[in-house]
A and B are shown apart, each in its own frame.
Chain A
Amino acid sequence: MAECVGVDSNTSGHSMDKSITLPPDEIFRNLENAKRFAIDIGGSLTKLAYYSTVQHKVAKVRSFDTTAKAPNDKLYEISVQEEVTARLHFIKFENAYIETCLDFIKDHLVNTETKVIKATGGGAHKFKELIEKKLGLNVDKEDEMTCLIKGCNFVLKNIPHEAFVYARHADSEFRFQTANPDIFPYLLVNIGSGVSIVKVESEDQFERIGGSSIGGGTFWGLGALLTKTKRFDELLQLASKGQHTNVDMLVKDIYGGSYGCLGLTGDLIASSFGKSATADKEFSKEDMAKSLLHMISNDIGQLACLYAKLHNLSRVYFGGFFIRGHPVTMHTITYSINFFTKGEVQALFLRHEGYLGAIGAFLKGAEEDNPNQYSWGENYAGSSGLMSVSPDMNPMQRARSGTFDMLEMDRLERQLVNLPLLQDPSSYIPDTVDLTEDALARDYWLYCFEDALDGVVKRAVASQPDIPEAVVRAEKFRQKYRHKLLTLRHQPFAYGSLTVRSLLDTREHCLNEFNFPDPYSKIKQRENDMALKHYQRTVESLDALSWEDRQFALVSGVLAGNVFDWGAKAVSDVLESDPGFGFEQCALFFVDNSGVDIILGVMPFVRELLSRGTEVVLASNSGPALNDVTNGELQILTERIAAMDPVLQAGLQEDRLTLVQSGSSSPCLDLSRLDKVLAMVVRERQTDLVIIEGMGRAIHTNYYATLSCESLKMAVIKNSWLADRLGGKLFSVVFKYEVPLGKVHHNGATLMLS
């Protein structure tokens, strides 16, 4: 006797087409150093994963020997060095290409240490021999579900905007969820040919708590019988054009209207296919496909809700080939979940859902490298983004398009964690404006970045004057970034929520991709040199001022270089809204630019804090971004200043002034992804004041961030559109001092003056 349980394997194949040619070197990148292969072969798509290393040029600063004569009066020397970083490559393609792809890999594979390829998915068995023959590697099969869960944990932990809610008729179809630092427990509903419902409680602990045999295979198999349509995508196409009410018996077909006392509306389906129980009527393919889609989606949604309720889980992720980016099925599943839970549970989908098995299989094979001890980041330059292949495209076209989807993840040098001082990590959103939802803002910023592209290209070329081929690389960078901007114009959701930060970061990733590691290095060097010469004089004149005037001058200094005309009284009023200001235990200061900003603005401010007995932790970028001061540069600058300034000297010696890196290489700041060491220092020092400086860190991001301690956000708004948005004028100064509720009678104050 048979019984339904549902197993979500993705078996069922297409015949292979060996005649297809493709441009694989753009796709299978960095194969020379590739090792640790893994493959996930589903019913129609293959996902290949490998680990490789990327050689990058990086700009390093090195202090000149202070005892020797400094040549050209330069503060430090800049050298471009080769650095090797780890990268994970994931490529998704139609099964039809599998043989061509394996041939290509064989031809380009240099690393001979690799002996094994981890394999998962329903098709792994079918292609085992082919893989072994082509690659000469032993196929080592891994359990599908284990891989899936491992992959799911990995993306949820490492990709901030991984999960989204789908709302077909909303302004933005995709509403990305903020990454909750605690991803467990959750429910994963995997809809392959059958359905598996898995409860995941921790990294290694998960349980298949149920399933259903009515899944993607039922839609496909039954759909093929009913409509004589063979392909899954075509069936979905049919369904999206049909009217299920011609086939289904609705509540109103039975009642004539709604069944009021139970709250069942007339449009509710009472009996799926209830109208087709007759021999003398024809039904259209579209209508039957639509009815079938509703029947299956509703059924899965209902079961998922029953399991979520029984196990008291509110986070429910859906995946499997039935979902895989298809707006039609995401819509019907979302509808069903909303109906059955009355909105209490949201259906969540994953941006990299298709890669979970491959990621998991890879992680199984890489356990000795312990990839989970690192933090990883999505490389925007090398990743295709959500819906790189639009599922709405004509399925026949799509089948032959040979579109390859890619995901690349860089191993980050530092392990990233939350800032311990975030008021509520699960609701923290770094970005001030979500351009995915705000079409006007999106148009404006996309235009801005396009407009600025020429300048960035010029700057990149100028940063490598002795290398003639830099022009060619810069041109490639231009093409790549312009293409990204174009993609984002059409698919703003491609990499999660579109924000000014993500636009800036994408640009940095693209610059790095074409070996422009630090286009501003020489400018920064020059400005630092210059500013340093004025340090002593600045400090002396500050010391001569009264306390009130000095406060104003210090704040002005941090906002240096910009014109503003608000009085000393105003600053003093804001700061003294909390009588305790200036008597903190320890201040964490996120710094911004090189040059005048850091040397004549931040350092005197730091000096004042130190002399008032407050310890200071200076957090600067780990890697370069625009003209922001990097941790490497700041080390040297601080030493030099300390040599001139006994206050700072003492601060360093007594360990009251500490320099840490933020873990980031972005002009913006994500307080939920910061260097682990920084978090440790913050905790040890009992930090009770956070200062965030600059447009990128205090306006584009963190403007609305709430911290559990006092905070000061300072920036000059150098963009008229944004000034307008925030209700000010160009070159307005934002000076936002906040005290957490309950700490003091007053809740801080904000000044925005021009």
Chain B
Amino acid sequence: HFVSLIKKKLTFPWFGMDIGGTLVKLVYFEPKDITAEEEQEEVDNLKSIRRYLTSNIAYGKTGHRDVHLELQDLTLCGRTGNLHFIRFPTQDLPAFLQMARNKHFSSLHTTLCATGGGAYKFESDFRTMADLQLHKLDELDCLIRGVLYIDSVMSRGLSECYYFENPTDPDHCIQKPYTLENPYPLLLVNIGSGVSILAVYSENNYKRVTGTSLGGGTFLGLCCLLTGCSTFEEALKMASDGESTRVDKLVRDIYGGDYERFGLPGWAVASSFGNMMSKEKRESVSKEDLARATLVTITNNIGSITRMCALNENIERVVFVGNFLRVNTLSMKLLAYAMDYWSKGQLKALFLQHEGYFGAVGALLELLHPS
């Protein structure tokens, strides 16, 4: 049924969707080469969807379009246009479906390619609430496809991939572009609500090495409980104003300095939240300190699991993606530092501009070029 659909001329609108545990990621291709003839044929509600999506940067209270990520003059399937990146919380999916219903999305007879767990969980809601059929796709397949595609289209001008130079020197740590030529093998660490770690040997050859439940959802969940905040942005803002060393017990707090016997520097964290065993110290820390400690704990843990996987899989390049890293330079620098320091320079941490959108891009590609 699906194959028969795409054998026909691909009808607009072109969407790719990734419904995660916390966020829905939506990529939308806005054709800029519409002929007058097409313009005439274009039905009203398609026009209205295009206008609604491209003329706003916020949708309702919680939907956002990441304008800085927009890819312009992109050629896809012989069409030229702009690729837009939109996100909203998964909990607002009902509102999205309601809107789709109001705008008679289903009358456009398009196929909606979706990945992420929500593609399965909400499949029946799409059908009953918006009369939409989902074409469900595996999230890891989409992720890898999306990463490789975006990297290939970006390398023309701006670099999609970057790294931090001098990661162990805070004063000289600067972001630098990186060319992902001959990317294989690489370790792909996707930090969403949880974390998946993939070893990628080629576009079609990869395996999920492991994962951890300590991810972005844990950071936000714990921050909400500890500080009363309610959004990722709030939590990050607090973290940037806090000091984790008041919360964590460091090696020097126990040994007065370095633990030389095992080559552990005094500044290293011995016990995350270890100082919070003491009542006095619990009373003296700020919410900002707690947010910072949570961020550092989660980030470093992802760092050490990743490092162990890289060693076990014998891979030296690690690409970190996922929305936990969105506007989260703190975590990226921590990861860059951790990879470099504990591997004595052997491991390189790489990051991608479109950190959380690769699954959705992969879903869109599946619509246009079914594999």
A interface residues with partner B (beta carbon < 8 Å)? 1-7, 9, 11-12, 43, 122, 143, 145-146, 192-194, 196, 208, 210, 212-218, 220-222, 224-226, 230, 247-249, 251, 253-257, 259, 261-262, 269-280, 283, 288, 295, 298-299, 302-303, 306-307, 309-310, 340
Contacts and interface: CB of A to CB of B under 8 A. Distances in A.
A273 B221 contact: yes
A106 B278 CA distance: 32
B268 A274 contact: no
A193 B213 contact: no
A255 B121 contact: yes
Interface stretch (B3-11, B293-301, B346-354): B293-301
B208 A222 contact: no
Contacts of B305: 302-303, 306
B224 A278 contact: yes
A193 B270 contact: yes
Interface stretch (B27-35, B96-104, B144-152, B226-234): B226-234
A274 B248 contact: no
A295 B269 CA distance: 18
B269 A4 contact: yes
Given A256-B117, A340-B210, A1 B21 contact: no
B254 A122 contact: yes
Contacts of B245: 2
10 contacts: A5-B268, A7-B271, A213-B271, A255-B120, A255-B121, A270-B193, A288-B225, A298-B212, A302-B210, A306-B309
B297 A7 contact: no
Contact of B117 (A224, A248, A254, A261): A254
Contacts of B309: 306
Interface stretch (B37-45, B63-71, B181-189, B333-341): B333-341
B220 interface: yes
Interface residues of B, number: 79
Interface in B132-155: 138, 140
B217 A249 contact: yes
Interface in B103-122: 116-118, 120-122
Q: Which 3 A-B pairs have the closest CB atoms?
A: A221-B276, A273-B221, A271-B217
B277 A12 contact: yes
Contacts of B216: 271
A143 to B, nearest CB: 6
Interface string B145-170: 00000000000000000000000001
B334 A222 contact: no
Interface string B273-301: 11111110010000000100000110011
B276 A272 contact: no
Interface in B187-242: 192-194, 208, 210, 212-218, 220-222, 224-226, 228-230
A53 to B, nearest CB: 34
B274 to A, nearest CB: 4
A1 B267 contact: yes
Nearest to B169: A1
B46 interface: no
Contacts of B170: 1
Contact of A194 (B221, B255, B271, B337): B271
Contacts of A226: 225-226
B55 interface: no
A253 B311 CA distance: 32
B251 interface: yes
B213 A7 contact: no
A201 to B, nearest CB: 16
B325 to A, nearest CB: 16
Contacts of A9: 254, 270-271
A3 B269 contact: yes
A350 B221 CA distance: 35
B338 A3 contact: yes
A193 B276 contact: no
B213 A277 contact: no
B62 interface: no
B225 A276 contact: yes
B251 A306 contact: no
Contacts of A192: 271
Contacts of B218: 271-274, 295
A274 B270 contact: no
B193 A271 contact: yes
A278 B217 CA distance: 11
B331 interface: no
B371 interface: no
Contacts of B304: 4, 210, 212, 303
Interface of A is mostly: mixed
B369 interface: no
A438 to B, nearest CB: 39
A12 B245 CA distance: 17
A3 B341 contact: yes
Contacts of B49: none
Contact of B273 (A6, A146, A217, A299): A217
Given A3-B269, A254-B118, A274-B213, 12 more contacts: A2-B267, A11-B254, A214-B272, A214-B297, A218-B272, A220-B273, A249-B21, A254-B20, A256-B121, A299-B212, A310-B311, A310-B312
Contacts of B303: 4
Contacts of B275: 221
A256 B249 CA distance: 39
Nearest to A193: B271
B57 interface: no
A214 B222 contact: no
Nearest to B278: A12
A218 B297 contact: yes
Contact of A310 (B20, B308, B341): B308
Contact of A143 (B140, B194, B210, B261): B261
B2 interface: no
Nearest to B140: A262
A273 to B, nearest CB: 3
A283 B222 CA distance: 12
A272 B272 contact: no
Contact of A271 (B210, B221, B230): B221
A270 B312 contact: no
A43 to B, nearest CB: 8
B277 A221 contact: yes
A194 B194 contact: no
A210 B311 CA distance: 13
Given A254-B20, A272-B221, A295-B213, A3 B273 contact: no
B118 A274 contact: no
A283 B274 contact: no
Contacts of A213: 248, 268-272, 274, 297, 300-301
A225 B214 contact: no
Given A11-B254, A270-B194, A6 B271 contact: yes
A217 B277 contact: yes
B59 interface: no
Given A122-B254, A225-B290, A249-B194, A272 B268 contact: no
B206 to A, nearest CB: 12
Contacts of B80: none
Nearest to B244: A2
A221 B312 contact: no
Q: Which of A193, A212, A220, A280 has the most CB of B within 10 A?
A: A193
Given A273-B225, A279-B230, A221 B274 contact: yes
Contacts of B251: 5, 7
A193 B269 contact: no
A271 B213 contact: yes
Nearest to B300: A4
A256 B225 CA distance: 25
Given A225-B282, A261-B138, A271-B213, A2 B225 contact: no
A268 to B, nearest CB: 8
A646 B321 CA distance: 90
Contacts of A221: 247, 271-277, 282
A502 to B, nearest CB: 39
Given A278-B230, A309-B312, A215 B271 contact: yes
A156 B194 CA distance: 39
